Amino acid sequence: MINEGVEYACGVAYDIPDNVASADEPLHPALNCIVTVSQARYLVNTLSNHHGYLNIRLIQDEYAELQDYLEGLQSRHELLDLSDASKSPGDLIWTIIRQGLDLFKIQTKYVRRIVPIEINVRHAPVVVRELCFEINPTEQSANYLDERKYKKALAFLVGDAAMNAHFWPGRGMNNGMKAAIALARNILRSCTRNNSIEIHTPLRYLDFLDYESFIARLRACEQQGRPLHVLTDPVDRYINAFYSYIHLDHSCENYKEKLIEKLKESRTRLEDLSDWPHRSRPVTDDELEDISDRISRQAVPQLTLANPWPTREMSDVGVRVEDIFPYDLTKFLPIPAPNVVNVNRSVTVAVHHRCVILWIIGNEKIELIDNLVQSIQKSASFTKTPKNKDTVYEINVVKTAEDAKEWIESNQELIRKTEIRFKVITVWRIKDDQSAVDAIRAVRSVSPRVPVLIFTNKHEVIQPALEFPNVLVTDAEYELKEYAEIYQDTQWNPGREVSSLATLASPGKYHRNI
């Protein structure tokens, strides 16, 4: 994946029962919108104003503090308790969360989960790949051109797997849907001649260059275009400015006036929009002034300094599927009737595979690496007793590339079993005498197509090794764990549940409330 930048946030999930006393009612959606677009620190994503997520942009130190605290809870198997201020810590991060809840008038007792979010704006370099895999890998005379032994398949990336947009401008879901439509139209186009279905086999990646180019345009627009305003205007600048002004108590009144001014400007801007959905519910000056009275004195300068959200600049049409795939779909396919959604998803094929990992860790002792190996060894995939007695999930740790070669030679039979996914992870340090290429040569000389992941932050040093097919490099722990097949889930952190609402059913999915 190619990274455009990283930002940090915290998601605070809340669920307010429908019939609460008026004192417990959150802000009206019209006010939610005005407050959200007036600054870029707090954002509410809601299905209705009673259920949703309060998202808070954090600087790296704040995020690290949140992570540490949640990891502490996790290791002690404790739930978070925000409702009792004396139980939850008075640390900075909790002050920031409480200020956000006050801003949108959400009581702490309705918070159900806190999720740290790393916003990794990144994308895959290509989204269409022709894969070639063995039909009968036990045959010795391997020849890539022999179609009887090798089967080709096309793989496509769509949605977040193809590219992550920054969620503040909030178009990740739209992008994923556009990509899916574009891919479907490309498939249809490749399989139709003169208005009738005619599948010519095999379909090749060349048939999907238009899909590749559609994603390239989408990426340019979503990661480098106007939505990048959010990434090029990180919160760090004004949050650091806020921390330096925090002691200047006398200027608070001044900040308060400026905040009300900002809220009023946003109200005028939104109410002037022809499609403003809350026309029948005008927001009064008193309601805006009430916001600045309700939040704490420290929160006022923070919100005043936070830049408003450049929603106007971001409201471009973006990349349209129609521009590259101008199909009249009604000519070809009936519109599918929606089925009942099955929420019990089955796991991917990958998790049914048996897996052997060979880990080359070098002689030097590095605590981090030892911990990583141990955490994988202790993970459910590697420890639970397999139903099938042939199931293999194991890690073998060796110290050098030569040891790796020796291990592979003496375990040929195991590795050759068709269902086993054999992989090698090497940890690379710049001062090692051997290059990564030596390690790959050693492994590949006995097992020619085995996938190799190099875990390093010295990407430039590792470059020559990436010339080998099926060699990946990463410095991200979660990518390493995905590779080792212990993360089979979403890339987002599930966060920690809050004790008071831990038993409530999950809320519906959010949608943007503006």
Ligand X SMILES: Cc1cc2nc3c(=O)[nH]c(=O)nc-3n(C[C@H](O)[C@H](O)[C@H](O)COP(=O)(O)OP(=O)(O)OC[C@H]3O[C@@H](n4cnc5c(N)ncnc54)[C@H](O)[C@@H]3O)c2cc1C
**Footprint on this chain of ligand X (rule: CB under 6 A):** 11, 45, 55, 117, 159-161, 167, 170-174, 176, 345, 347-348, 350, 488-490, 492, 512
Q: Which is nearer to ligand X, 52 or 362 (CB)?
A: 52
Closest separation between CB of residue 324 and ligand X, Å?
A: 20
- Half-sphere exposure in the Cβ direction for 135 (13 Å, CA): 11
Q: Are 322 and 183 in contact (CB under 8 A)?
A: no
Cβ-based nearer residue to ligand X, 133 or 478: 478
Q: How far is the CB of 504 from ligand X (least distance, A)?
A: 20
Between 137 and 318, CB nearer to ligand X: 318
Least distance in angstroms from the C-beta of 172 to ligand X: 2
> Shortest Cβ contact with ligand X: which residue?
159
Cβ atoms of residues 10 and 2 within 8 Å: no
Residue whose CB is less far from ligand X, 335 or 347: 347
State the nearest-atom distance from the C-beta of 414 to ligand X, in Å: 24
C-alpha torsion angle, residues 92, 96, 101, 107 (rounded to 10): 0
DSSP state of 474: E
Q: What is the DSSP letter of 512?
A: B
Q: In this complex, which beta carbon is closest to ligand X, that of residue 137 or of residue 308?
A: 308
Give alpha helix (H) positions in 191-316: 209-219, 228-232, 236-245, 252-271, 285-294, 299-305, 311-314
Distance in Å, CB of 45 to ligand X, minimum:
5
Q: Are 324 and 278 in contact (CB under 8 A)?
A: no
CB 300 within 8 A of CB 252: yes
Beta-strand relationship, 393-398 and 420-427:
unpaired
Pairing assessment for the beta strands 111-123 and 2-15 based on DSSP bridges = antiparallel
Among residues 199 and 350, whose Cβ is nearest to ligand X? 350
Where b means 16+ CB within 10 Å and e means fewer, 296-331 reads: eeebbbbbbbbbbbbbeebeeebbebeebbebeeee
CB closer to ligand X, 119 vs 369: 119
Shortest reach from residue 129's CB to ligand X, in Å:
17
Helix, strand, coil percent values for the chain (each to nearest 5): 40, 20, 40
Distance (Å, whole) CA 283 – CA 288: 8
CB-nearer residue toward ligand X: 160 or 432? 160
3-class secondary structure, 122: strand
Identify the CA nearest to 397 among candidates 429, 421, 419, 365. Answer: 365
- Report the residue number, 87 or 511, with the smaller CB distance to ligand X: 511
- 187 versus 252: smaller Cβ distance to ligand X: 187
CB of 315 to ligand X, least distance (A): 14
As measured in angstroms, the least distance from the Cβ of 199 to ligand X is 27
Tokens 């201020």 sit on residue? 85
| Distance in Å, CB of 459 to ligand X, minimum | 25
d(CA 52, CA 510): 6
Q: Quote the least distance from Cβ 155 to ligand X, whole Å.
A: 14
What's the rounded Cα separation, in Å, for the pair 11 and 45?
10
Give the nearer residue to ligand X in terms of CB position, either 174 or 396. Answer: 174
- Buried residues in 434-467 as b, exposed as e (16+ CB within 10 A): bebbebbebbbebbeebebbbbbeeeebbeebee
Amino acid at 417: K
**Nearest CB to ligand X, comparing residues 172 and 308:** 172
The partner residues of 197 in beta bridges, in order of sequence, read 192
| Minimum separation from the CB atom of position 491 to ligand X (A) | 7
- Output the smallest distance, CB 37 to ligand X, in A: 13
SS3 for 256-291, per residue? HHHHHHHHHHHHHHHHCCCCCCCCCCCCCHHHHHHH
